[in-house]
Structure 1
């Protein structure tokens, strides 16, 4: 699905497909998934399904691990520095993580769902490409 947002709908200073915008998407989706999973944990525990609750907690932990350093990428005042830091974070998550790693697959899934061309942004710097 193509992103139909206009420039007016995007945060100030961000271009479509910028690494900064990708970082913002990862943080937003991460927060929403953690919130949703917390309800699933509560429901599983109430039903006595400890294994299910633990699987949801592990998923929440994985997302938190992916997202915990992302907010600092958006702190520098200069746009070019913010973009460079955001690119470095994306490179780490797409290059340094094993392609079979759930965290890397989560990052790829979130970026794909929002229509980000992360391969273009990271071009020759990634060790693997998401199989389509």
Structure 2
């Protein structure tokens, strides 16, 4: 089966291992979406980061489970020529609203609704962080067939 992620086709090759199946099943029931993809990101220390970005609108819901050391999560709403930016617009870079918090060990962050259209998000560099963090990001990828 072929799905779409970030505008690219993704073929599903492997079923989830039992623990990830349990988590995905719980998220599917709680969020009422069909979780069919998980991506693991390893941040070995604070030098590892994910830059400011938006995920595709096709990702109706994204659930990210944090394991390990807490890391800062930043969401910015930016302006475009006097207007608030929407998906696909780069804007003039002026931040009009910033939300920031620490994703602690065991925390679950869920993005849905207009989040991807209205905000960028990132895990910034934190040079003083010396321990690792793992993020398990669960999504429902849409079937392209």
TM-score range, shorter chain: under 0.3
- Ranked by relative contact order (alpha carbons within 8 Å, sequence separation 6 or more), the top structure is 2
> With structure 1 as the length reference, what TM-score do the two structures score?
0.27
> With structure 2 as the length reference, what TM-score do the two structures score?
0.25
